Chain A
Amino acid sequence: MYKVAVIGDNESICGYAALGLETYPVNSAERGKEILRQMVSSDFVIIYITEALAALISEEIERYQDRSRPALILIPGISGNTGMGKRNVKRSVERAVGSDILDLK
């Protein structure tokens, strides 16, 4: 049995607690890294991260990209959508194909 977590600033993530996800309010990059590391070694299989936090700890996130778990998924926070999630999709296309061929959208 695995669990799902949400990390980010408190205002952005407090709603997810009601759905039964585990929320971890984080307000600094160091704390974010620390919590992420702990989560990876325990049984979290999906971790939603707010884009604002992800921007601060991007190299930490990239490290787990090729592992089969956990899945680190970026979500827009309360401060708005930075487009980072979309950029990540684009990046994986570029990685696989060599160039961004899904430009049409």
Chain B
Amino acid sequence: MTTKSLTFPQAFPRPKSSSGIWSWLGTVDHKRIGTMYGIVSFIWFIVGGIEAMLMRLQLSSAENDLIGPEAYNQLFTMHGTTMVFLVIMPLSAAFFNWLIPLQIGARDVAFPRLNALSFWIFLFGGLIINASWITGNAPNGGWFGYAPNSGATFNPGMGMTYWVVGLNVLGVASIAAGLNFIVTILNMRAPGMSMFKVPIFTWMTLITSVLIVLAMPILAVAGIMLMTDRVYGTHFFNSLGGGDPVMWQHIFWLFGHPEVYILILPAMGIVSEVLPTFARKPLFGYPFVVFAGAAIAFMGWFVWSHHMFTVGLGPAANTAFSISTMLIAVPTGVKIFNWLGTLWGGNIRLNTPMLFSISFIAMFTIGGLSGVIHASPPTDAQQQDTYFVVAHFHYVLVGGALLGIFSGIYFWWPKFTGYFLNEKLGIANWALMLIGFNLQFAPMHWLGMDGMPRRIYTYAENMGWESSNLASTIGGFILALGILVFIINVFYSKMNKVIAGNDPWDGRTLEWATSSPPPVHDFDEIPQVQYRDDFWFKKYPETISEYYHDEHDLVPKGALLDDETEEASPVVSGGAEGHGDDHGHSAIHLPDMSYYPFILSFGVAIIGAGFLTNTYVIGAGVPFLLWGLFGWSMEPVNDPE
């Protein structure tokens, strides 16, 4: 145990309060951190949505001059950046935070303070990028930041510097969170929960976290190179100095394509939890779904050049990447068929989470099929950089990831809060989103095939693009109305609480075993796990033989027999920092709160701001960074009583 002599002198007393603003600044509770992730990323979601609506207004008619080209370029750059890095990723992180410890029967993540650090850095990274709106220098080089258009020569303003600094700061948060969840899932599962008894959402989180840890450093490298090109005049990507702009594309998409799976796999995990619950059947072919997820994540590393079919890599490279891209459709298809197999023969309840999840299958399939079309480089030569591609990835990321996330919100809201979201408003929310989404993005397929390029702020009257664009704009506003209904639903449901109870949906996994909302220590008693869907099979033991009768290869023989044989080992949060029952007052041991993650992340934010202002500001951030680091490392998990 840490001794008192090592403690770092504290400027503030260690936070103790469990309410008020200071309790949030010092929290290390995965549930509170998850809530903060959810709220902050939802605010960015609204910001990104407003950006999208402004673009749709601009494009609703030909030769429109509502928004000029500079503002339009800023809007699409920030819309993409916001939705990818500040919305879908952190909304997924909100679910990771809330659910992973609950699903694996743990009391917190492996490194609770690191978890807090991830959140605070994410918060500051988002603020840095969006501060560019206030200073009038929003990034305008696209979320893909293609060199040399993103370099200082052709983009002399501060915008792309904000972008690259912000992304580098956000990357730190993602990598830390990814490591945290890998360690948590590998090390902190409840006794008896072997990897093949882990809930499917936890599996997808593990796979996503591995991707994050491997992919985000690539973006960090690319970002640092671009930043030195911009700030210090290096020539990594600057063709004028002999740098290679195509190298940027390779590095960016080597990150960027795994990033797509970072965005979609958590939603696939959510859907894989919702479908079995509302069909009242186990996930069909659990090992196939797990392996398909892992295969997608692995193959995702070998397809990046399909973003570059028109860059001129030559027929050999295009052949190879075309084949690898088509192959990735195979595990994706497996998932879709297994979800249908899950529904088949079920007793399907069409509640809001289920409606979102079924819509996910329907919409994601469309995005997958259009993906196969432009996996073929000859047809992609016509579709690359057109609205066809815009339609494709919105079917994947809105029709897929976002619908999945909404499914998860409606599904786990009772667990998070203790009460339901209103079902009537929920269905209105779902219907408006689904209708608006299709009306907004289906016409973009036609626009693309009609030759409308992406990222143009206006188009001529004689191109025949007006009616489709108008339909798309109307659809966008219907979608936005759906989101508004969701916000109304949140407040309405809070004011008219319908208490949910611990297990409102007849759930299958461990999070439904504890109270709603869960206590700060998650479980009064750490569950002993015997089966996949352990909670379900303990509710309905008569169905165990239906599931397990012929799993010779996939489930260890002992799975049915090992009850009472495993010793209940004490499972403690706080990772490797110690076992909890030293104090005697309680077997439940949680780490104390800490300000240091906040202070450390504040230092990182100031250093980031220094790259945007001047070097002295970097110096001003260093003391905070060191204060946070040393304070943290000297701080015991728990103050001595």
A interacts with B = no
